[in-house]
Structure 1
Amino acid sequence: MTERKAFWRLVGAIALTVFFVYSWDGLRFNYDFENFFQQGDADLEFYQEYRSTFENDNDYLLLALGRRPDIYDSLFLEKALQLENKIREFDGVEEVNSLLRMNEPRISPFGVSLRPLMDWSSPEALSQTAEKLSEGGQWQGSLISENQKYLLLVIRNQQLIGKEAGDSLYRSIEDAVQNAGLPDYKIAGKIRAQGEFVSLLQEEFTLFLGLAVIWVLLLLWALYRSWWAVLLPFIIIVMGVFWAGSFLLATGGQLDVMLVMQPPILMVIGLSGLVHFLNHYQQSLRDSFPKEKAVFAMCKELTLPVFLTALTTSLGFLSLYFTNIYSLRWFGVYTGLGVLFMFLALVTLLPWALLVFPPLSSPKNQVWARRWDRVLGLVFKKVITKGSRISLIFVVISLVAGYFMSQVKTNGYIVDSLPQDHPLKEDFRFFDQTFDGSKPLEVFLEVGDPERGIFDYAVMQEIKKLEDFISNNYATGAILSPLTLVKGINKAQNRGNPNAYTLPSEAGYERMVPVMERWINENEWKLWTENKKAGRISARAKDVGSFIGYQQHEKLSAFVANEVDENLLQVRLTGTSFLIDKSHEQVTQKVFSGLGFAFLLVVLVIGLLYKSWRVALIALLPNVIPLVWVGGVMFLLDVDFKLSTSIVFAIAFGIAVDDSIHFLSSLRMQLAKGLSFEKSLCVTFLTTGKAIILTTIILSSGFLVLAFSNLEIAWFTGVLVGLALFFALVADLFWLPVLLKYLQKWIQKRTSAVIQDRQKLPK
């Protein structure tokens, strides 16, 4: 590498930096709940059509107002009513449902009369209200808690409300609640969750970036103890992160719950590649190479191996594209490309820096090098002499871990990413425990016989069977459907008797048809279509996790197939909760499918470059070990497969395979020098072994920075990837040399043929 070539590489890097500086448009943060749906999924397409017909099922805010010992206090109820009236006036609020303004209809021969469901106009009226509501009925657990201590307001906001409008509306509602003199309240819902997630993302991004910067500087100082040897590599790493982030923003990307992890991950990977380059450079200086030749040897011998490691790491991230989940897909794409940007920063900026600044070498480094050689030499002898026993240990542990991994279940929750003690998560948990739940449940209904309508009595009977099953299967409370209107009219015709809140007999149903038709025409209920050929069941359920949720969905499907007459009623489960449960269930399959594709690409790339499929398979085998072992650890720690843990395997494989590539590259170079197989393997173990130990320490500790996160997805990524990289180091140091030893004769024969071909070439 001449100084002139290094200079022109520097010019290219500066030009790219200037381009990104001028295209910089500021950081953008986003948390869209629907980014975790399976893109291109038939159920997602159906739901998008469904909500255009009815409404979005999660555009609501749950507001619980509490009082001890119960809510039956006239002052409390009056303040709650004033608060409800104020909330109704806010822009973006479409409807507020509560018991405070609800009227019970009574139908008599003289017409329809309305009576307030709650009356606190006098102590006697309040006492009667308390007695009526405490006896149970359709509102228990739905709009009033079973312990009578909380009153629920369901605030339906504008459909598909934007982030800024949603934040503004939530702030207005929260201010109104705080000023209402009602100190005991709980709030949960989409507009709150979305706002708090974005705020948390901004905090996490700052935390990750700050910790990563401090950690990189400390490690560089510990390794090189020179101001320029700390500052210049740090600038190179920051430049790679800047290029990757600028590319993301320039192509319309936004920082979400996944992409906030990109900067520290790229810093870790960049520092790892940097250490490989600098370790080779220092070794050349210790071998008495002049600085220029040391830089030339570094670029010649390491550019290809480091590019291969960057490529395989990138492929690991890019394998997430196969998940079909928007957030995971673009995290994989942008981080995979970011790794290549980091490689570009290293090969364009590092050679110039090493040529211009003083060499990295000191007597202390040489003392430590001798210590490394002594320790690694002893380890190498043990590995070679105990090869068969080591292989047996790895196989047995892997089989046991593989069995444990097969027992890990897939399970996830709606607000998984939040820490357990986060106020928002606690409020969601409160609604699951105190009311029907916080998780929307939607079922699409369509008349099977075109000659019938949704209000045909036979269809109503099928809906009733379905509602009863849903109530038991999902442990829901109040259910809204076309049958709700029928049951309400029947109750009204029976003077408000709660026992009459049911589907009447066919004769009774015929008598209520005229009243029902008038009510259908006079009210805009979003529970059936205008042509009355389709409808919906809408309810709230507890977030019991996708593992149990998926079992509930399968039971519903089985019930519909066996018990519901499809000629009368056709049923399809839909909604955001169903789609999230499905994403959790399928993401593991998708990740491992993508990982299989990454395995194939890695074998293909290494096989073509090294002209050996055996070498490619040898490089792959030790890197399956950390994935299986991490799966076993997940079982022992009772960690489930879900969106926040499945990605670990793709990331870990892409990075872990790097050490094997460096080891094989070094072995090939030593053999090309004419050394015997045993000597080449020993030299490789001593030199590359040191480098992969250092890079594993760097990578593992770097990923552990993510363990300081309050986001579950970042915490699992940091801890489990760090653990996987440690397992990969163990496999590469203790098992890879043994596997290569098994192929000694073939490798020697192949190397001899290559050397002979080179000798025949004209000089």
Structure 2
Amino acid sequence: MFKKPTALAFLGFGILLTLSILIFRPVPSFDYDFEQFFPLDDPDLAFYQDFEKQFESDNDYLLMAIENPDGTWLDSAFLEKSSQTQNQIRKLEGVDSLISILDFQLPVIGLFGMRQVSVLDWETKEKLEASREKLSQFQPSLISQDGKSILFLIKNNPSLSKEEGDTLYREIREVFRTNGIAPKAVAGKIQTQGDFVTLMQNEFGLFLGLSFILMFLALFLIFRSWWGIVIPLVVLVLGVLWAFALILYSGKPLDIMSVMQPTIFLIVGLSALVHYFTEFIKKLKAGISRDLAVQQTFQQLTFAVWLTIFTTAIGFLSLYFTSIPALKTFGLWTGLGILVIFLGLVLITPGLLYLIPISEKRQVSVTHKSSFLPILFSKIIQNRKQILWAFSGVSVVCLILGSQLNINGYLLDNLPSDHPIQQDVSFFDSQFGGSNPLEIAVTAGDQANSLLEYEVLQEMDKLERKLQETFGEREIISPLSLVKFLNQAQNQGSSAAFIFPTQGQYLRMRRYLKQAVASEGEKIISLDQKTGRVSTRIPDLGSLEMGKKRAEILAFVEQEINPDLLKVRWTGTAYLIDRSHESVTRQMLQGLSVAFLIVGLIGGFLFRSWRLAFLLLIPNVVPLIWMLGLMYVMGIEFKLTTSILFSIAFGIAVDDTIHFMSKLKTELSTGKSLHYAIKRTFIEAGRAIILTSVILVMGFGLLAFSQFGVTHFTGLLISFTLVFALAADLFLLPVLLFPMKKIWDQKVIGYSQAQNPPK
């Protein structure tokens, strides 16, 4: 397969494929949709999708805080300018509604029926001054807690694409600019997704460039020859081009997880090339001709390299068996991309090595023959028991520490705390009650015909008082809020009357209920009045704290709310994201189980022994346990984006073990004793394992500098885990192999009989 004519034919095919991609270039697109992190198999997702159709999305809004830089916002000129801005925004295509204190109206019931009266009137100084008394009711919903800012709550069309959302946000900002107003803080989906995508594009290019620089330096330090730099760079550039072409031709946009893919593709490919090139140079130095060295190198190593590439891909592909769409697509396309990188290695590298002139007389060794590995091996032999106790002790401590890790995630986990988006969200949390939607679905019980029946409203009032007690005083929009507004209307708009009505007050307002539902309630209560929503905004407290508060409220509902009158169920996008974080244990076990199973099958097939296959897993489970302890020490909590790293780290870490075991199998097949075969493997494979581990650690270490949480933690934790895996392969694996002498002897006899069958 790797003889010169075949290799040159493969190279020609690779060139044609590359030219085709360059001629029919795929168009890259970037997208960010946090709803891709919702668990697909969660019944709460199906419930929310029906809820969203009936009412509206709780996530398609934009919060904009406005402050008068020249003084109080209760200034006629500023209010006029703000009102003009508001009216222009309402006319923009894609804006469904805009709510603000500027034209907010309250119902007032008089002799001639119900009419709407504006809360704020700045036509004259006297009217503006009279408006002040009504404003406290709207703190902190439409007016900030400190009274210095007002809020524009812009609801956009939920069907807007990412590009349409970007356009709408630019148009809104332009309206503010032309009117000479600069928003103090902004938070919302169309703004966040635009900023996320910009940051993604910047980091994608940054890490792609840094990865190439790192590769160049690594190749220079390892091989110190021009062809040892040029050939790997060409191969890896083409491999990455093919991998991303496959992703883009599928129509998949690049997302937040894609930031990691260039670095992953490059360092995985580079570590594979190091194995090929070290063996190739070794053969050249032994006096073998270049053509024969190329052929023998690729014939001897391709199966072992394929196994290591395959197990790395499996670490990512195992994510496809989770229930989170973002993780499924990331795992699938990263795993396939790694396999494409391998395809590029075997199609292009041999042909280039045949074509490019390489001096066969004098080659610089990859590493000088090291004396520290034989010395290290002797130390390991002498201290086998101490090594076992040390690894066991550290693993037990890490398990104990890891068991204390909390599962906790935030909506904006992926951004650093000092990012402008985080700062704006913090402003809304402190001044406007929060930016995170809280949604509860309410349904009339079996003994009720409508949510607007007095007995049902009493139950709803209990629920809302519990919400106020749990989350603090805030505006809550619900069927009950319609009734409270009507009670206020019966009392000439007095804010003190925005309370639950007495039965007599309720009876007097009943004739206005239908009118109120028709004008204000279509997004709050269904037409048949049997289902509705209880909606407010709260700070992002994290899934751990919110889980406790939800449990507290559900316990209250079970004890205090009559289910025959009112049924209560949590829903909403924030709830679904929290559910995703809460499912991390299941997601992690699903991914790891698939990875363990496949690697175990590979080990069993390769060595024809399930005991050896199990042994192969041990030095790769230990680094995962140590990663648990490291997370505790570094204060890193379990969340969706950190739980997936275990299966990824396992798939990458197992490569060195497979390389070690494959080399050991080769040594044993020549008839060497177990002790001598382990020693030769340790010295020969040890150098390559150390080199590839250093490359992988440096590559993933780059990702630790990302501003995205998922990318940062991937780089940080996998880098440490690879160091732990290297220690396990060099120290623990040889110690575990010595007691397997009987099994290995049987295997050696089996290999010998297979090669020399009896006549």
TM category (shorter chain) comes to: over 0.9
The residue type equivalent to 1:489 in the other structure is L
Deviates more, 1:19-28 or 1:358-367: 358-367
The equivalent of 1:738 in structure 2 is 735
The equivalent of 2:213 in structure 1 is 214
- Summarize the Cα distance change of 1:161–1:531 in structure 2 as closer, same or farther, 3 Å threshold: same
Q: Deviations over 1:670-689 (max 9, x none)?
A: 11112222221111111110
Q: Taking structure 1 as the reference length, what is the TM-score of the superposition? A: 0.96
The equivalent of 1:229 in structure 2 is 228
The equivalent of 2:162 in structure 1 is 163
CA–CA distance in structure 2, aligned partners of residues 646 and 439 of structure 1: 24
The equivalent of 1:145 in structure 2 is 144
CA–CA distance in structure 2, aligned partners of residues 160 and 591 of structure 1: 33
The equivalent of 2:328 in structure 1 is 329
Aligned sequence identity (%)? 42
The residue type equivalent to 1:261 in the other structure is M
- Summarize the Cα distance change of 1:613–1:15 in structure 2 as closer, same or farther, 3 Å threshold: farther
Deviates more, 1:256-265 or 1:183-192: 183-192
The residue type equivalent to 2:400 in the other structure is Y
Matched, 1:552 2:546: no
Partner of 1:332, secondary structure, is helix
Matched, 1:89 2:88: no
- Summarize the Cα distance change of 1:240–1:97 in structure 2 as closer, same or farther, 3 Å threshold: same
Q: Deviations over 1:527-548 (max 9, x none)?
A: 1111111111111111011111
Deviation of 1:360 (Å)? 7.3
Matched, 1:365 2:364: yes
- Summarize the Cα distance change of 1:362–1:46 in structure 2 as closer, same or farther, 3 Å threshold: farther
The equivalent of 2:251 in structure 1 is 252
The residue type equivalent to 2:722 in the other structure is L
The equivalent of 1:418 in structure 2 is 415
Q: Taking structure 2 as the reference length, what is the TM-score of the superposition? A: 0.96
Check whether the contact 2:64–2:183 (CA below 8 A) recurs between aligned residues. Answer: no
Q: Deviations over 1:250-292 (max 9, x none)?
A: 2221110002211110100000000011112222223333323
- Summarize the Cα distance change of 1:145–1:367 in structure 2 as closer, same or farther, 3 Å threshold: closer
The residue type equivalent to 2:35 in the other structure is E
The equivalent of 1:312 in structure 2 is 311
Check whether the contact 2:211–2:699 (CA below 8 A) recurs between aligned residues. Answer: yes
Deviation of 1:578 (Å)? 0.5
CA–CA distance in structure 2, aligned partners of residues 745 and 360 of structure 1: 46
Deviation of 1:439 (Å)? 0.5
Check whether the contact 2:445–2:564 (CA below 8 A) recurs between aligned residues. Answer: yes
Check whether the contact 2:591–2:644 (CA below 8 A) recurs between aligned residues. Answer: no
Of the candidates 650, 661, 664, which is equivalent to residue 664 of structure 1?
Answer: 661
Q: Deviations over 1:423-454 (max 9, x none)?
A: 12211121111111001111111112275112
CA–CA distance in structure 1, aligned partners of residues 568 and 107 of structure 2: 31
Check whether the contact 1:67–1:184 (CA below 8 A) recurs between aligned residues. Answer: no
Partner of 2:570, secondary structure, is strand
Deviates more, 1:406-415 or 1:351-360: 351-360
The equivalent of 1:581 in structure 2 is 578
Q: Deviations over 1:717-748 (max 9, x none)?
A: 11111111111001101111111112123212
CA–CA distance in structure 2, aligned partners of residues 15 and 22 of structure 1: 10
Q: Deviations over 1:337-379 (max 9, x none)?
A: 1111111111222222223334477867349422x2x011111
CA–CA distance in structure 2, aligned partners of residues 476 and 47 of structure 1: 26
CA–CA distance in structure 2, aligned partners of residues 597 and 580 of structure 1: 24
Of the candidates 431, 437, 441, which is equivalent to residue 438 of structure 2?
Answer: 441
The equivalent of 2:128 in structure 1 is 126
CA–CA distance in structure 1, aligned partners of residues 514 and 527 of structure 2: 13
Deviates more, 1:340-349 or 1:695-704: 340-349
Of the candidates 629, 634, 642, which is equivalent to residue 632 of structure 1?
Answer: 629
Matched, 1:38 2:39: yes
Deviation of 1:126 (Å)? 3.1
Deviation of 1:27 (Å)? 0.7
Check whether the contact 1:23–1:250 (CA below 8 A) recurs between aligned residues. Answer: no
Deviation of 1:391 (Å)? 0.7
Check whether the contact 2:454–2:503 (CA below 8 A) recurs between aligned residues. Answer: yes
Check whether the contact 2:134–2:495 (CA below 8 A) recurs between aligned residues. Answer: no
Partner of 1:369, secondary structure, is coil
The equivalent of 1:538 in structure 2 is 535
Partner of 2:256, secondary structure, is coil
Partner of 2:704, secondary structure, is helix
The residue type equivalent to 2:705 in the other structure is F
Deviation of 1:58 (Å)? 1.0
Structure 1 unaligned blocks of 5 or more: none
CA–CA distance in structure 2, aligned partners of residues 451 and 35 of structure 1: 37
Number of corresponding residues? 757
The residue type equivalent to 2:253 in the other structure is Q
The equivalent of 1:3 in structure 2 is 4
Deviation of 1:524 (Å)? 5.4
Q: How do residues 337-352 of structure 1 correspond to structure 2 at under 5 angstroms?
A: 337-352=336-351
Q: Deviations over 1:187-229 (max 9, x none)?
A: 1101101111111111111111111111112211222222222
Check whether the contact 1:272–1:698 (CA below 8 A) recurs between aligned residues. Answer: yes
CA–CA distance in structure 1, aligned partners of residues 360 and 592 of structure 2: 41
The residue type equivalent to 2:90 in the other structure is R
The equivalent of 1:503 in structure 2 is 500
The residue type equivalent to 2:33 in the other structure is D
Partner of 1:340, secondary structure, is helix
The residue type equivalent to 1:108 in the other structure is G
CA–CA distance in structure 2, aligned partners of residues 213 and 588 of structure 1: 36
Check whether the contact 1:292–1:355 (CA below 8 A) recurs between aligned residues. Answer: yes
Structure 2 unaligned blocks of 5 or more: none
Partner of 1:641, secondary structure, is coil
Q: How do residues 256-655 of structure 1 correspond to structure 2 at under 5 angstroms?
A: 256-359=255-358, 365-366=364-365, 368-370=367-369, 372=370, 374-449=371-446, 452-475=449-472, 477-523=474-520, 525-655=522-652
CA–CA distance in structure 2, aligned partners of residues 578 and 212 of structure 1: 38
